Structure 1
Amino acid sequence: MFDPVPDHPYPDGHRVDEAPAPHALLAPVTGLLGTWHGRGRGGYPTLAEDFGYAQEVTFSHDGRPFLRYEARAWLIDADGAPLRPSARESGWWRLQPDGRVEALITQPTGIAEIAVGRASDNTVDLATHEVALTPTAKEVNGTRRRYVLTDDGTLTFVHDLAAVGRPLQHHLSASLRRKG
């Protein structure tokens, strides 16, 4: 059994404490690798008013054809100061040879989503394939998420939501910059 330790390399030659090269299937999304942060606006018909939020999104990999995804957000006041934690989710994006993406996304609020879509030309577009809810989770029927890496290095994020008896409609949008 192979049990790597920091002083010994993996069979491909990279050390345990070094990042491996991205798998070839990650080519359409390598521009997303890293940590992104910024601000956005959100709203939904079931909410009393629209809101501002700060967001941090991290995309990483371990050399296999999977993109690790983690996002967290905070509600912010008019001056941009954090008020309290808001959404949090994590998961994996599985890249396929034809540019298809299969994403597994979970939230601590009891929502697990399988989304499918495509990755090409600095754009990832995902839509719900299936949603699983814990017994006390809020009703969510579907989402659409779109990530676009622009020429100026901005990552834009738009999230549409179908929940609590409402049809799919705009919920969140943010503009993020690479951290560091």
Structure 2
Amino acid sequence: MTESGNEAVESAARRAEQTRDRNIRQSPDLPDLPIAGDTANLRDGADLNDACLALLPLVGVWRGEGQVDYPTIDGPVRYAQQLTIAHDGRPFLFHEARSWLLDENGNVIRQAAREVGWWRPQQDDTIELLLAHNTGVLELFYGKPRSQTSWELSTDAVIRSTSAKDVTGAKRLYGIIADGDLGYVEERAMMGQQLQPHTSAQLHRVAG
């Protein structure tokens, strides 16, 4: 899942030809913020904080497809996702993922999982990832970079609302893969099942 330093630079340059002028924007219906807004484009907006350099390849807007499967569902099920990882110049990254289910022809069936949170790199290279899910689950992951372009994290704590599913743990691996895409796999323990594969996807950079 990793590239050499030169290969990563060359891949980034090729991708930038199509995405360098695209970014997340404020709604035109709202006045400009009096403070720095989020940016998912390293060429636009606030400079990336030095504390986030180990996470630099993640910054951008990513979109692609994957599949979800688990013993408690009738799967595998095809889905698509948009993942935004942005920053405002401070020592953390903003994370937002929106997913939707697809039929066998790639048509949208309905909206699916959503999550928002923060990547918080620490001085000892540890990464904290805090995620809140629309399903009523809050998760705190800890992990470290596996290389310059891959990151592995596991839950240290899971909090559930009274209406949420019985989730007890999760593990995620993110990495820059072929052609500069972002790939990830997630394992999850829930509904009485042991930790095991749950979702995987390959996302293409669409901005940043």
Normalising by structure 1, we get a TM-score of 0.88
Residue 10 of structure 2: aligned partner: none
- Structure 2 vs 1, CA of residues 98 and 49 (structure 1 numbering), >3 Å: closer, same or farther? same
The partner residue of 1:98 within 110, 116, 124 is 124
Map of 1:1-180 to 2, 5 A cutoff? 19-119=45-145, 120-150=147-177, 152-180=179-207
The offset of 1:99, in angstroms, is: 1.7
Q: Which moved more, 1:120-129 or 1:53-62?
A: 120-129
Q: Distance in 2 between the 1:177 and 1:108 partners?
A: 24
Q: What is the alpha-carbon distance in structure 1 between the residues aligned to residue 33 and residue 153 of structure 2?
A: 40
Higher RCO (CA < 8 A, seq sep 6+): 2
Whose helix proportion is higher, 1 or 2? 2
* Pair 170,9 (structure 1): closer, same or farther in 2 beyond 3 Å: closer
RMSD of Structure 2 on Structure 1 (CA)? 1.8
Q: Distance in 1 between matches of 2:53 and 2:61?
A: 18
Percent pairwise identity: 38
Distance 1:158 1:6 in 2: 37
Quick one: distance in 2 between partners of 1:176 and 1:73? 12
TM-score, normalised with respect to structure 2:
0.77
Structure 1 residues 50 and 23: alpha-carbon distance in aligned structure 2, compared to 1, 3 A threshold: same
Q: What is the count of residue pairs matched by the alignment?
A: 169
The CA distance in 1 between the partners of 2:102 and 2:178, in whole Å, is 28
Shift, 1:152, TM fit: 1.8
**Shift >6 Å, 4+ stretches:** 7-10
Structure 2 unaligned blocks of 5 or more: 1-30, 37-43
- The structural deviation recorded for 1:9 is 8.4
Which sections of structure 1, spanning at least 5 residues, go unmatched?
Answer: 11-17
**Are residues 6 and 42 of structure 1, via their aligned partners in 2, closer, same or farther at CA, if it must alter by over 3 Å?**
closer
Give me the whole-angstrom Cα distance separating, in 2, the residues matched to 1:159 and 1:121.
20
Q: Secondary structure at the match of 2:179?
A: coil
Distance in 2 between the 1:72 and 1:7 partners? 24
Other structure's SS at 2:165 match: coil
Q: Residues 171 and 7 (structure 1 numbering): CA distance in 2 closer, same or farther, change over 3 Å?
A: closer
Structure having the higher strand fraction is 1
